[in-house]
Structure 1
């Protein structure tokens, strides 16, 4: 793991995107996603969907689950040289213990960057080929959860932003997005 020592006298320069990816890979080393694939693939897909919005959001995409699913905390990320704004976005999408999923989504929608990140995460979690590898009960439960989340997330950003993300991460959602925007969503 890359941990740089920080002192106020010798501020660490911000990490590059490649260095953040290496940090995420190290933090999630050995972890598999719900379908048994190395977790880094999910992180890369989310980050790729955020590329139109800049390197900072790509970094947040790579790190979006690190606070929930690894031993690293926000202070560790800052000490490693992750930009403060990136860490702030990661913190916003991190579900706090005891907070219901719907309540977390409502909190996320108060921040544009966090909303875009969660849209990218949702889009990758909803990829049909990935969902098909889940058990039927898990697939139905999760797809319903992700569909309900999109009803909260999509209305708070421009349809062009949602289109940019899902066009990269999960083009199958473009049909749903078109229907959603026609209905005034």
Structure 2
């Protein structure tokens, strides 16, 4: 089966996340599209992984279904790498992710989008503070695992305000 084009993977992600909304009430597909935009400079495969990065964790879709839909095995492997398995502590997951360049870039884009001030401002204060700390701690693990130029490429698209943390 030929690999799907990016638009087909976007449609697959949209179907999988249909009816889902993020913590601030925005359709969830907008989050995964923002993450995909952040990694666009690194190729179509990484964009596909970004579009699908929460499918295994947040929908009934399994890896075999992705493979059956023609999603390349390398893309599915990246999606699996960024998927938090039940019972796995968040930091342990991050330490596993940084062993894979593609997964690290997807997770950096995910973290950057989740860290946007305009999004955080819409959360209750207790959630805002807790999540800000979680995302800051994650950046301390993720950012050193990639070249600064790659990090800047992702942040410039997804959350330019985070570039100030590099300077």
- Secondary structure of the residue aligned to 1:104 is helix
- Please say if 1:162 is aligned against 2:148: no
CA RMSD of aligned residues (A): 0.4
CA distance in 1, matches of 2:63, 2:105: 20
CA displacement 1:115-136 (0-9 Å, x = unmatched): 0000000000001000000000
How many angstroms does 1:71 deviate by?
0.6
Question: Who is 1:182 aligned against?
Answer: none
How many angstroms does 1:23 deviate by?
0.2
Question: Who is 1:76 aligned against?
Answer: 65
- Secondary structure of the residue aligned to 1:151 is helix
Question: Who is 1:88 aligned against?
Answer: 77
Question: Who is 2:108 aligned against?
Answer: 119
CA displacement 1:134-173 (0-9 Å, x = unmatched): 0000000001000000000000100110000000000000
Question: Who is 1:43 aligned against?
Answer: 32
Question: Who is 2:7 aligned against?
Answer: 18
Question: Who is 1:101 aligned against?
Answer: 90
Unaligned runs of 5+ in 2: none
CA distance in 1, matches of 2:34, 2:86: 26
CA distance in 1, matches of 2:92, 2:22: 24
CA distance in 2, matches of 1:137, 1:151: 22
Question: Who is 1:56 aligned against?
Answer: 45
- Secondary structure of the residue aligned to 1:36 is coil
TM score, norm. by length of structure 1: 0.90
CA distance in 2, matches of 1:117, 1:40: 15
Unaligned runs of 5+ in 1: 1-11, 179-185
Larger-gyration structure (1/2): 1
How many angstroms does 1:177 deviate by?
2.0
CA distance in 1, matches of 2:159, 2:166: 11
How many angstroms does 1:68 deviate by?
0.4
